[in-house]
Structures are given as C-alpha cells and as structure tokens.
Amino acid sequence: MSLINSIPEMVITTKLDEVLNWTRKSSVWYMLFGLACCAIELMQTGGPRADLERFGAAPRATPRQSDMMIIAGTLTLKMALRTKVLYDQMPDPKYVISMGSCSNCGGLFQLAYSVCDGVDKVIPVDVYVPGCPPRPEALTEGLLKLQEKMMQERWLVKGSSAQAAA
Amino acid sequence: MSPTEIHQRLQDQHGDAITAFEADALDPFVLIKSDSIVEVCRFLHDDPDLAFDCLTNMSGVDFLKEDYIQVVLHLYSYTHRHAIVVKANVSREEPSMPSVEAVWKAANWLEREIYDLLGVVFTGHSDLRRLLMPEDWVGHPLRKDFVEPEEYHGISTRRESLLK
C-alpha cells in the first residue's frame, strides 16, 4: 500500500508555492489610503454591495500591516514623495494597484504644474485600473487580476519570476 | 449701504489712500494703495455703519503686461448685508504689502496661499509659509511667466504622449 493511498480523502495534495500563493492572495490587506475622488469609489468597493472583503481584502490603517496599496486619486508631486515613504514602510511582498486615470497617467490634470503624471514614476505598479473614477466593479476586477498575478508567483525556486519582480 | 455710499464713507475717512472706484462692475470695487491697506481694512471692519465682519475671499492676480500683481479682498457684512471688493496693486519685482491678518483671522491661510502661488510677501504675517506647494518648491506657479521645472526630486514632470 503506497503512501498516497493511506492519506484520507479530505486531504488535498498540492505544491508548496501554490499554498503560499493561495494563502497570500486570500488575505490581501490594503492600506486605508485615498487621495481624491477615486477614494470615494474605493470606500464603496469596501462597502456592502461590492464587498471587497469577500476576497479577503480588508483595509488596514497602517502601512506596516498592509500587503497592498491602492493609489486612489490624483497624485500631486508633494504627495508623491510621501507615497514613496509609505510604500517603503510596507513589508515585502507588497503590491500596488493604480486606480483611475489620474494615478495611471495624470489623467485630467496631467498638464498641471503640481501633478505627478503617473504613480509609476515613483513606485512600481502591478495592476492599472482605468476609469475616471473606476466603478467598484472595476476595482474588484483589478483585485481579481492582482490575485491571478499572485498565483503565478514562484517563491521556492531560485531565480524565479517572483524574485525578478521583487 | 450701497457700494457708492461705502466708497463715499471711505473717501471721507481715508481719501488719500483711495486711487479708484468702480461702481458698475459686477462686484463694485475700491482700488487702494497697498501701503495703507491695514488702516483702510481696520476702518471697514470696526466702523459700526460699515462693519465688514467677514473676509469672504482673498486672492491675487498676476498682470504680466501691466507689470503688477493685484491682491483682491472680497468683504461682506453680516450685520448690514452689504458687500464691497477692495483691491491693491503691488509691483511684480518686489511684491510686498502689509498683512491684514490682525483684522480678519481668516486672512492667515489666504495670504499664505497668495504668497505660495504668486510670491506676494505679507509683512507682519505671523506664519508666512507655503500653503499648497511643497516646502522646497522653487518659484510661484500662478505667475504668468512661471516655467514648470523639468523634474522634482527625480520625478520627471514630462510624459511622452501615448498617442504618438
């Protein structure tokens, strides 16, 4: 009788990478952080109708406990430096969703003297969510895309794509 | 009081400070010398017949061709329900005028904003720092001849058009 047959039926065998990724993607805590009108949609996404928490994403009030940062709104040059500090304070592995036209490319305000046109000039971005502002459904889609990306990561194998990304 | 009556009252008390009056404008205004703004505003605020207790708005305009910066004060009296606009011109080279913060506390942030965006120095202001722009920003963005810097702390302010 082989080992595999002696395991009860309720046990699933999988790869360690997949378990790690599955646990990680199922508790993406995002930082409670909004910059402009997109933050209103971000609040709606956390609300009862869109309910981001059913995907394991709960807001945290400090970068030290956050896995993900949602850049929701117009990023000014003044805020860009502070956003970089907040990003640096988050523990690895960390992810960034750029929400809305403003944080994607500066959007409506990209020609203004005070606006950083694109958050990707300051910190690396994993998922871009288009829209002005994106509806809660769009942000939920963004989170699902991020979870897809997280499931692709490989942590145990050296020189993997995950390390290249980090 | 109508704007004309307000102007007349000002003219009686501070006639030498007033340089122009426009009654037909959408917001009738009095143009005064910037050096005497505190005395005029103090009078507008304290006089029981005028009693301008509310500084609704304070802003600045850069007139590049005419070579001056205009500071505009929108005043309102809740006591008498009348309004007037007070304007004062300062030079673009050395823009400086007395602060009216002692008259209306609300002027504190409004003057900081004008200092931030236009570079007008308000003498006697208790805390004249930039209000909106970063502390280490160079230049005053609402000046008509302001040139946007190429980068700020390594963040480029230029972006290639995605349509090219």
Instruction: ipTM value, please give it.
Output: 0.76
Judge whether B157 is closer than 8 Å to chain A, CB to CB: yes
Q: Which of B131, B132, B73 is nearest to B99 (CA)?
A: B73
State what percent of residues in chain A have pLDDT above 90.
56
Q: Are the beta carbons of A113 and B148 separated by less than 8 Å?
A: yes
DSSP code string of chain A: --HHHHS-TT-----HHHHHHHHHHTT--EE----STHHHHHHHHHSTTT-GGGGT--EESSGGG-SEEEEES--BHHHHHHHHHHHHHSPSS-EEEEEHHHHHH-GGGTTSTTB-S-GGGTS--SEEE-SSSPPHHHHHHHHHHHHHHHHT--SSSTT-HHHHH-
Residue A62 CA to residue A128 CA, distance in Å, equals 23
Contacts for B130 with CB less than 8 Å, ≥ 6 apart: B112, B115, B116, B137
End-to-end CA distance of chain B: 60
Q: Are the beta carbons of B133 and A110 separated by less than 8 Å?
A: no
Q: Do residues B150 and B156 make contact, with C-beta atoms less than 8 angstroms apart? A: yes
Question: What's residue A111's pLDDT?
Answer: 85
Determine the distance in angstroms separating the CA of A82 from the nearest CA of chain B, rounded to an integer: 11
Question: What's residue B161's pLDDT?
Answer: 67
Ramachandran angles phi, psi of A116, nearest 5° = -80, 115
Kind of pairing between the strands at B82-91 and A30-31 = unpaired
Residue A118 CA to residue A135 CA, distance in Å, equals 20
Average pLDDT over residues A7-29: 82
Digitized pLDDT (tens) for each residue of chain B, 164 residues in all:
888 999 999 988 888 888 889 888 899 999 999 999 999 999 999 999 899 999 999 999 999 999 999 999 999 999 999 999 999 999 999 999 999 999 999 999 999 999 999 999 999 999 999 999 999 998 899 999 998 888 888 888 877 766 76
Question: What's residue A65's pLDDT?
Answer: 92
Determine the distance in angstroms separating the CA of A43 from the nearest CA of chain B, rounded to an integer: 26
Q: Are the beta carbons of A114 and B133 separated by less than 8 Å?
A: yes
Question: What's residue A166's pLDDT?
Answer: 47
Interface probe with B: pick from A74, A75, A76, A77, most Cβ of B within 10 Å: A77
Chain A residues within 8 angstroms (CB to CB) of chain B = 77-78, 80-81, 105-106, 110, 113-114, 116-118, 121-122
- pTM higher than 0.90, yes or no? no
Q: Which of B133, B146, B159 sits opposite A117 (nearest CB)?
A: B159
Residue A6 in this model has a pLDDT that exceeds 80 = no
